Chains A and B, each alone.
Chain A
């Protein structure tokens, strides 16, 4: 394979059979369309290329910026493609809830605008939602923007009608599958693939998967939100099933741990939704069937999403010298000094507050080691000698008491905590300085 540029690597992803031992279906062969193998990491590479290709030359000439309402994979793909042509990219979003993706987009050189939250004191006469206003700005002539408009752009569907869909048919030896499962985001891939498959066999059953209403699965819309998508046509789907973020994470874990497939939550949701739907049918089937679902993107961008929902997955071995191991009576017994004694302290003074606060005002002669860094240092052992008296200072004397207790337990004989913290120091009228 020799290509002139990376976009030529988009598409022609493999269709991989899922081991029946994993899904337990007797009469159904389940295949995963491995869209995570696209070069920029997701299914959205196809639509991004298809939508932006006709706009790039003009945008480069006029110096326009490509803009899209996207909080994830479409933005990522557009940023990379636009960047290849020296065109800037901006993403407008109110849905960017996954910090890694935000950071990744910034790394790729994208600009991100976040839309405001709802007003607390509502003005119901204001029917102008920020999104509509944004839309109008973007589509005005001479705005300096070209808008790919993924939720309404037919090219988004075309990319899958002529790419993803026919590839599935080709890999199934010219037959359409009996079932097709797709998570509904922009509805581009589900609509395009469904259309292509039905051209081959009008009886293909298409199942759309949406998120439960109050739930959040990145890349999947809720049952209400799909109505806001121009490409969404309820007629495309024989059934619309709801999946939860729990389902998505369960499916993701099965794919990454059992199937050699580093899938993100959308792929996990599609797998889980497919297996649940098919399990109900499997016992009633008398002939072999095939089913296909899409693995949209990769797991690596969702670690914080997973950590939030399944902290147990990230359990780490406990570290030594940790304040969390202290007993309440140990903390209560931590040696303290009052402001008067602190003012005459002969040794080292360590201020545990953040650097900004320290630089603004601190006790003369103190040094600043922010608490999280101090905690890290203590995991490695005592950072100063036992003969060195140390006074610890924090805002109210609570954190410093914990660290004083920990250092005492670690064998330091001359560590003290400033009782009441620097706030008590200030309230006593003692001197604070800045450099």
Chain B
């Protein structure tokens, strides 16, 4: 039974994005004027995401900071807008730190994380931001740099669970939890120059059980701090809350089922050169693992945080949220992708449409690094502008680099009509990691310009990203 209907993966589009997409003339004008590809960010859409996380905090009666993981997008507009909200920022490089300071974040609302060079540590120590230390040596280095005591967190990794051994991927970051004593000794050695404010972890997993073990491990570490008389009040659980990209779970299930059938040779391939996205056929049995982001995720973002906090801790057998509250611990989080849900899109112009056997190939004035959906394993169809829906068409999207591998999608995407040269494709919900994270100037191709759009009455108005400041409108005499 071969299913020959098209296999769309329709993106979830909230009303704000939808209304921007409806401004066809404006979008075309922007691409004509500023070039393709073009990044569009929606600073106004941030508020709803921040509020969703805050609502979870309120529900669990918890306090703490929401640090926006700046790495998810380089936009100045988004950062400045967040500086105007009840949000802090997580910076992971010297320039991100400078950017955050310049966007209006005061040092008490900044945390420095990730791999750090000496200049980054120096500026962090001098300005007095919190530093999440990755190793005992980093603590030594910081102690030598600061003017006033430097506020630090210790990032832990490699937590162990009772009873059942939970295997986690090895991480290159953090202090192994069994070396906590050594790290705390180091903090105490530098008393007066370092001030320990919290314990942190970040696990690159979508698995709640692994995170539950890590969070409980941090609570144990907090107890150890208190045993030593260190007044530590925060636990930072990092990010990884996820985003739900697709509108329809059934489409996702159908597509992945059909991919498995295609890999097994039970139906014609869905992908370029029979790419299996990690699956392979070994003597009629499906092997490997699907290397794709679970694009349909009904529980994600703030909902995922709520689920984690409601999870019963494996050792203490009480919900993690209650344990945090009992310990008077503030909960700090570092969402990136989840805070940018529905906050931006990438526009690209169609250069060429050609038929090759049964396939329709569409070449865009953009490449796979400008819209890095494939690189991150997130599959969703683009939106055709201007809107037409006369003939659903499945197409491969090719990039503008002189490289066989430059495919914006390695699968057929479904468009509501056959595209024509000059049309635009909008890749929606790409603000988190897919917009400028990987973009390069390979072949002297331009890096996308970025514009911020905001509502001006009934219409949408725009400015260059770097010109956006969330300044209230002056009340002018009409």
- Bound pair: A and B? yes
User: A residues within 8 Å of B by Cβ?
Assistant: 96, 102, 106, 111-122, 124, 126-127, 129-132, 152, 213-214, 223-224, 227-230, 232-233, 353-354, 356-361, 370, 372, 395-396, 398, 422-423, 426, 434
Contact of A434 among B61, B227, B374, B377 (CB under 8 A): B227
Contact of A129 among B165, B242, B278, B328 (CB under 8 A): B278
Closest to B216 in A: A356
Query: How many of B's residues come within 8 Å of A, CB to CB?
Result: 56
Chain A residues whose C-beta falls within 8 Å of the C-beta of B377 in the assembled complex = 122, 124
Q: Say whether A120 contacts B240, CB under 8 Å.
A: yes
Q: Give, as a whole number of angstroms, the nearest-CB distance from B407 to chain A.
A: 13
Q: Say whether B164 contacts A119, CB under 8 Å.
A: no
Alpha-carbon gap, A130 to B278, bound state (A): 12
Chain A residues whose C-beta falls within 8 Å of the C-beta of B208 in the assembled complex = 117
B152 within 8 A of A: no
Q: Say whether A118 contacts B206, CB under 8 Å.
A: yes
Q: Give, as a whole number of angstroms, the nearest-CB distance from A223 to chain B.
A: 7
Interface of A (DSSP majority class): loop
List 27 contacting pairs A-B, 8 Å CB cutoff, sorted by A: A102-B163, A116-B169, A116-B207, A117-B208, A118-B207, A120-B205, A121-B376, A124-B376, A127-B291, A129-B289, A130-B289, A132-B287, A213-B253, A213-B257, A223-B257, A227-B260, A354-B316, A354-B322, A356-B223, A356-B323, A356-B326, A356-B327, A357-B327, A370-B318, A395-B61, A396-B61, A423-B63
Q: Give, as a whole number of angstroms, the nearest-CB distance from A269 to chain B.
A: 19
Q: Say whether A360 contacts B285, CB under 8 Å.
A: no
Extra inter-chain contacts (12) besides given A114-B165, A126-B291, A398-B61, CB under 8 Å: A111-B165, A113-B167, A117-B210, A119-B204, A120-B242, A122-B291, A124-B377, A127-B278, A129-B288, A130-B167, A360-B227, A396-B61
Residue from the set B63, B220, B288 with the largest chain A CB neighbour count within 10 Å:
B288
Alpha-carbon gap, A426 to B164, bound state (A): 37
Residue from the set B168, B257, B286 with the largest chain A CB neighbour count within 10 Å:
B286
Q: Give, as a whole number of angstroms, the nearest-CB distance from A215 to chain B.
A: 11
Chain B residues whose C-beta falls within 8 Å of the C-beta of A121 in the assembled complex = 204, 240, 376, 433
B268 within 8 A of A: no
Of all A-B residue pairs in the complex, the 3 with the closest CB atoms, nearest first, are A117-B207, A129-B289, A357-B326
Chain A residues whose C-beta falls within 8 Å of the C-beta of B325 in the assembled complex = 353, 395-396, 423
Q: Give, as a whole number of angstroms, the nearest-CB distance from A375 to chain B.
A: 13
Q: Give, as a whole number of angstroms, the nearest-CB distance from B166 to chain A.
A: 5
Contact of B166 among A114, A152, A214, A422 (CB under 8 A): A114
Q: Give, as a whole number of angstroms, the nearest-CB distance from B176 to chain A.
A: 17
Q: Give, as a whole number of angstroms, the nearest-CB distance from B253 to chain A.
A: 5
Q: How many A-B residue pairs have CB under 8 A?
A: 143
Q: Say whether B318 contacts A354, CB under 8 Å.
A: yes
**Contact (A132, B289) CB under 8 Å given A120-B206, A398-B61, A426-B328:** yes
Contact of B226 among A118, A122, A361 (CB under 8 A): A361
Chain B residues whose C-beta falls within 8 Å of the C-beta of A112 in the assembled complex = 163-165
Alpha-carbon gap, A230 to B287, bound state (A): 9
Contact of B257 among A119, A130, A224 (CB under 8 A): A224
Encode B200-225 as 1/0 by CB contact (under 8 A) with A: 00001111111000000001101100
Q: Say whether B288 contacts A132, CB under 8 Å.
A: yes
Chain A residues whose C-beta falls within 8 Å of the C-beta of B289 in the assembled complex = 127, 129-132
Encode B246-286 as 1/0 by CB contact (under 8 A) with A: 00010001001100100010000000000001100000111
B293 within 8 A of A: yes
Alpha-carbon gap, A131 to B282, bound state (A): 15
**Contact (A356, B219) CB under 8 Å given A395-B325, A395-B326:** yes
Alpha-carbon gap, A360 to B219, bound state (A): 11
Chain B residues whose C-beta falls within 8 Å of the C-beta of A111 in the assembled complex = 165
**Contact (A127, B288) CB under 8 Å given A224-B257, A434-B227:** yes
B375 within 8 A of A: yes
B292 within 8 A of A: yes
Q: Give, as a whole number of angstroms, the nearest-CB distance from B408 to chain A.
A: 14
Closest to A354 in B: B326
